[in-house]
Chains A and B, each alone.
Chain A
Amino acid sequence: FQKNSRKQQQHPGLEVMEDSQNIQHRLPQHDALTASPDLKTETSLEDLGDHQLRAMPCSMQQKRFLSRQLNTSTRREVASWVTWHQKRCRAYRQLQEGIWNFARICQLWKASLDEIEAVFGPGIQSYFSFLKLLLFINFLAGLLIICFILLPVTISHDTTSFLKGPSAELECMNYSSDISHRSSWQHLQDIFTGDGYLEHSYLFYGAYRVKEDNKNNYNVHLAYLLSILGYLFASFLWILLRMTASLVQWLMLRWEFKPYNSTRIFTEWDFCIQSPEVATLNQRSIYNGFKIDLAEQTRRMQKRQRTRKQLSQLYLLRLLINGVILLLMAAAFYCIHLATEVSQQDASSSSVVNQYLPPLVISIANVLLPFLFHALAQLEGCSPNTEVNLTLVRCMTLKLSTLGIFLFFLGHRVLCTGSRNSPQCQLCGYNKLYQCWETHIGQEMYKMTVFSFLTTLAFAFLISLPRRLLAKHSSCALAHWLGKEEFLVPHNVLDIVAAQTVIWTGIFFCPLLPLLGCVVIFLTFYIKKYTLFQNCQPSTQLFRASHSKFLFQIMLLLGLFLACMSLGYVISSIRPSQPCGLFANYSTPWQAVPKAMSHLSTSAMLVLDYATSNVFCFLLLMLLSLILTVYISQAQANRKEIERLKKQRVQCVQEKWCLIKKLTLQLVNLP
């Protein structure tokens, strides 16, 4: 209705415009370009702050003149404390700006990021900024763990043998830390498997011990639990904050508010581009974008004209394709189950390849299945954008669920999660083959991290490099069809998010894993940069930087949930191993918290009791749902208001043209 009414008005508007050209020139122009700052009065000059001065559209000379006037104007009698306050504000702002500029110069990798943005655009640069972000997250984790856990444990170093707890069984205490019988070849293998010297170092949970009758006030058990949980909670809050910042932009991109075509013309060309090939590619992708949009319009018209039979056929096809995808994923899960069983058969004496079987199978599944997803998505008959997004969602689900399934089967085997009454598990509460099961799980996480780094290396040098050489030097049809590799940002981000999920899951079992993660990310940055510059061509799909932030945060959040769920289960319900580690004499690691709290005063205990009781939680939930209802109804009211204002705007436009018509007629009829 709105578009029709506007179209009707355009014709009389265009007619009237020819008559009323003179009148419009006489009307005052509220144009920012013609507003000259010299016309501002003296009183308004005084009110100009530095910020407003910067945003004025006049030349630097005029701005300098104005700011000089501002600084030396003594026309008005002001109290001395006002000028002092102004001077202090200005000095403080200058200090802030100085610090901000200095921080911008000292950033890590600033030169590399600028170079990548200049050549490949902000979309690909966002991947590298994301890498930098993850580096800082892991570095923070490493710092926390070293300060709160590692240092106290090394200071109160306990070399005595383990005190047996009250319910210790002999069979559950069969853990030796003897590494003298290992050859040098085995020592080399240990770097990859985490056995031997590494197993008994501070890398893994097993080596952390404190004396039971510790006279210090520092409760290491509590520190271990709370620092890890606190760090995960802080990461969650921080990701949430970043998500909400980009959520507003994402909401604006919804179709109700989206002036898509118009913004595309004015904002899609990246002014940073300096190389001719990238310029050509950019121009081609803009051209493709327009073509796709125009094709989309015809597609929408065709869609409206689809018969019922065609529609039902299409839905059946889509259902079939989703079924096939689920089947493929189930097959992948079964393969992972088999690989886990094989690799856990005889943990101590199997070869390195055997031990790396689960990460290998997971990687193969994550490389092969996306190709199939991509091919299947093309059969579904959706628009290209939907196709890309759908494939991405499926790949994300695949990556996180393969990891989750691996953790599930590992837990099933090592912790007897489903079969508590089997003969191996009844005695100790966990599978007695794994005397120090936390270290064992930590080793699995360590192997996965090392394997992901090796995969990155292998892909860079064994796949991208030959592909580039082939494309450059050979002229056969295959080489031409393959071409150089394209740097696909979403898939690379998925890889790095999966690696980060592994690090988050393993942080309880392998406390120094974040530091290893830092090293891996640092090296990955340079490897990916090398791959990008040497072996890749800029992608023909323009990846928008604005979509990327929200997407990355969601992926990271899902990874964090997976890690937190598995950690929460382990901390609250599994019996810690008895011969090693900090929590040997507790029934679950979480028991350290109530034990520490029992030392608090009675009033504090009363408050805590009330805060964790059912009534309080219920009241809190009621309050939160009330606040949520208020916000939701406010959002709905705002939406209705926007609709109303849109209608009002159309009516105002119609009124304006009526009035202009009347005025023209009057003026034309003047004698």
Chain B
Amino acid sequence: MDYKRDPGVTVPMQLIINMPELQENPFKERIVQSFSEDGEGNLSFNDFVDMFSVLSETAPRELKAIYAFKIYDFNSDNFICKSDLEQTLNKLTKEDLTEEEVMLVCEKVIDEADMDADGKLGFTDFENMISKAPDFLSTFHIRI
């Protein structure tokens, strides 16, 4: 196999999410899926480099916001709807919050961030909200 001319090798998702940098991350499957070309989570070398380049310290904020939106959009419909939010929250708190509390928090989030009142967060809403969060750049990066 000539790796230089035809680098068609892909690494399966199971190997990548067992990396020490990603192991403890609750969103590891989504991260790997959003950078893979086939959407299944199998990364070629270029995809792998892309992933760590976007998650590095010096990536620009806009680029990180774009990929963060992709990661948190679980059903890949280009909107973060209520079910996406519920899944995010459950992964974050390992399902410790009761259903009622989860619903309350998700409603609050949509209340605060939804600008065009369609009941879900589009990319502009997300980016607007992220721009007001000073912690985003320092938490959304993986150090290799």
Contact = CB atoms under 8 A, between A and B. Distances in A.
B132 A258 contact: yes
A271 B96 contact: no
B24 A279 contact: yes
Nearest to B120: A17
A122 B130 CA distance: 18
Given A10-B117, A17-B118, A262-B112, A60 B49 contact: yes
B55 interface: yes
B24 A275 contact: yes
B129 A252 contact: no
Question: Which of B93, B104, B133 counts the most A-chain CB atoms under 10 A from its CB?
Answer: B133
Contacts of B72: 266
B139 A270 contact: yes
B134 A546 contact: yes
Interface in B86-100: 88-89, 92-94, 96-97
B130 A60 contact: no
Contacts of B116: 653, 656
A122 B139 CA distance: 8
Interface in B19-71: 20-21, 23-27, 46-47, 49-50, 53, 55, 59-60, 62-63, 66-70
Contacts of B118: 13, 17
A56 B92 CA distance: 29
Contacts of B134: 249, 252-253, 546
A117 interface: yes
Contact of A59 (B47, B129, B136): B47
A283 B92 contact: yes
Contacts of B135: 263, 267-268, 544-546
Nearest to B125: A262
Interface in B75-113: 78, 85, 88-89, 92-94, 96-97, 101, 104-105, 108-109, 111-113
B66 A33 contact: yes
A608 B111 CA distance: 61
Interface stretch (A171-179, A286-294, A584-592): A286-294
Contacts of A33: 66, 69-70, 78, 123
A323 interface: no
Q: How large is the interface on A (under 10, 10 to 19, 20 to 34, 35 or more residues)?
A: 35 or more
Given A272-B143, A546-B134, A262 B113 contact: yes
Contacts of A51: 60
Contact of A267 (B20, B21, B89, B140): B140
B11 interface: no
A274 interface: yes
Given A117-B143, A265-B92, A283-B93, A14 B50 contact: no
Interface string A253-267: 100011111110111
Contacts of B47: 59
Main secondary structure on A side of the interface with B? helix
B60 A54 contact: yes
Contacts of B138: 122, 545-546
A114 B143 contact: yes
Given A13-B117, A31-B123, A59-B50, A271 B93 contact: no
Contacts of A17: 118-119
Interface in A100-128: 114, 117-118, 122
Contact of B46 (A61, A257, A274): A61
A31 B78 contact: yes
Contacts of B97: 287, 290-291
A657 B113 contact: no
Interface in A1-37: 3, 6, 9-10, 13-14, 17, 29-34
Contact of A118 (B26, B123, B143): B143
Contact of B25 (A10, A258, A271, A656): A271
A261 B105 contact: yes
A290 B141 contact: no
A82 interface: no
B39 to A, nearest CB: 13
Nearest to B124: A30
A32 B65 CA distance: 11
A272 B119 contact: no
B142 interface: yes
B115 interface: yes
B85 A272 contact: no
B25 A266 contact: no
Question: Which of A257, A266, A269, A283 counts the most B-chain CB atoms under 10 A from its CB?
Answer: A266
25 contacts: A6-B117, A9-B117, A14-B119, A29-B78, A30-B124, A54-B59, A55-B60, A61-B46, A114-B143, A117-B143, A253-B134, A261-B108, A262-B113, A262-B129, A263-B129, A263-B132, A265-B88, A266-B72, A268-B92, A269-B27, A283-B94, A286-B92, A286-B93, A287-B97, A294-B105
Interface of A: 3, 6, 9-10, 13-14, 17, 29-34, 51, 54-57, 59-61, 114, 117-118, 122, 249, 252-253, 257-263, 265-276, 278-279, 283, 286-287, 290-291, 293-294, 544-546, 649, 653, 656-657
